[in-house]
Homo-oligomer: A and B are copies of this chain.
């Protein structure tokens, strides 16, 4: 793939399988990488939020990308998360990923400190001026300093090496405002949404692609939704988008992110290991919650047989464990108020 090809399609932000000792499980990571490619994703996106990049050391982050690039062997492009502690460390990471031949890097806006738009600009400007590899801005305002529209516009004007933005705000009008501000002067600049439940409308209003966590679990489904939407098969696409919202809600709101993604990945047959973030028993996502929903979604779309016991006509089954867990949280809250 030529470096100048515009980023488009679905880039999967992948979770990293760990072994029992909490170390990167390389064979399983390789198997997962190839499985994703074989199931239709357009690209790979290691060291994203789903990939828990903050919970690895700088050396581990490099190794994750190296392993995946080696496994992919150019079959699909790679977008490598490259954010490190400061600009100098980030640029070093960019250089390393460039040497691996990945298509581009993605760099999240500075986090922990909440920076002003001017400082966010200065951060990316410095990177954009010194990177040897194409850069995707990563805007995720729920976790990091927001990258606002004027900042995207200014960076796209001044830095040819900045070629895309991944936006996880899920705000459709915000995406329209960015595209309107940038596309006329930078038709090569790509807009990727990071918000699964708005995938279809985001594509319809002009996005070039997506980096969505559900594509790491049901790559067949997200690819089908992508293709239907681009063909303006609105009615079919809408129906699939509704199902994706259900799956997303189960995975995302059932436990702290990305525990639901980890549980779902186990259901697809991968040994993920446990997170490096410890969870109390009552916070661990119960695989059973997702199992039938996931199986039924795949069956309904023709990617698998219906599970034993059949599928519900509508809605998902209740998980008593999940209810119990939330109730415990409530009791803890009451206790804090002197009520329990």
Contact of A338 among B55, B111, B246, B325 (CB under 8 A): B246
Taking a contact as CB atoms under 8 Å apart, the answer to whether B122 and A283 are in contact is yes
Taking a contact as CB atoms under 8 Å apart, the answer to whether B323 and A338 are in contact is no
Sample of 12 more A-B contacts, CB < 8 Å, known A177-B336, A323-B330: A54-B111, A114-B142, A114-B143, A119-B283, A122-B278, A149-B337, A153-B335, A170-B171, A200-B204, A232-B232, A327-B330, A330-B330
A-B contact pairs, 14 of them (CB 8 A): A56-B85, A86-B276, A111-B112, A113-B277, A115-B256, A116-B329, A121-B280, A123-B277, A149-B337, A170-B171, A234-B234, A246-B338, A250-B338, A323-B331
Taking a contact as CB atoms under 8 Å apart, the answer to whether B87 and A336 are in contact is no
Q: Is A24 on the interface with B (CB-CB < 8 A)?
A: no
Query: How near does chain B come to A15, taking the closest CB pair, in angstroms?
Result: 13
Taking a contact as CB atoms under 8 Å apart, the answer to whether B173 and A170 are in contact is yes
Q: Is A159 on the interface with B (CB-CB < 8 A)?
A: no
Give Cα distance in the complex from A322 to B276, angstroms. 36
Q: Is A22 on the interface with B (CB-CB < 8 A)?
A: yes
* Given known A-B contacts A111-B112, A176-B197, A334 and B322 have beta carbons under 8 A apart: yes
Contact of A336 among B55, B122, B148 (CB under 8 A): B148
User: Scoring A residues 187 to 210 as 1 if CB is less than 8 Å from chain B, else 0, what string do you get?
Assistant: 000000001011011001110000
Query: How near does chain B come to A178, taking the closest CB pair, in angstroms?
Result: 9
Taking a contact as CB atoms under 8 Å apart, the answer to whether A54 and B112 are in contact is yes
Q: Is A2 on the interface with B (CB-CB < 8 A)?
A: no
Taking a contact as CB atoms under 8 Å apart, the answer to whether B250 and A339 are in contact is yes
Taking a contact as CB atoms under 8 Å apart, the answer to whether B337 and A323 are in contact is no
Taking a contact as CB atoms under 8 Å apart, the answer to whether A326 and B330 are in contact is yes
Residues of B within 8 A of A331 (CB): 323
Taking a contact as CB atoms under 8 Å apart, the answer to whether B315 and A338 are in contact is yes
Taking a contact as CB atoms under 8 Å apart, the answer to whether A87 and B232 are in contact is no
**Chain A interface, number of residues (Cβ within 8 angstroms):** 98
Taking a contact as CB atoms under 8 Å apart, the answer to whether A113 and B176 are in contact is no
Taking a contact as CB atoms under 8 Å apart, the answer to whether A85 and B55 are in contact is yes
Give Cα distance in the complex from A184 to B121, angstroms. 41
Residue of B nearest to A252 (CB): B337
Taking a contact as CB atoms under 8 Å apart, the answer to whether B206 and A173 are in contact is no
A window 121-145: CB within 8 A of B: 121-123, 125-126, 142-144
Taking a contact as CB atoms under 8 Å apart, the answer to whether B338 and A113 are in contact is no
Residue of B nearest to A52 (CB): B113
Q: Is A57 on the interface with B (CB-CB < 8 A)?
A: yes
Comparing A26-34, A237-245, A303-311, the segment that makes contact with chain B is A237-245
Give Cα distance in the complex from A56 to B112, angstroms. 13
Taking a contact as CB atoms under 8 Å apart, the answer to whether B176 and A144 are in contact is no
Taking a contact as CB atoms under 8 Å apart, the answer to whether B122 and A253 are in contact is no
Taking a contact as CB atoms under 8 Å apart, the answer to whether B340 and A318 are in contact is yes
* Given known A-B contacts A112-B112, A282-B118, A283-B118, A336 and B150 have beta carbons under 8 A apart: yes
Residues of B within 8 A of A254 (CB): 337, 339
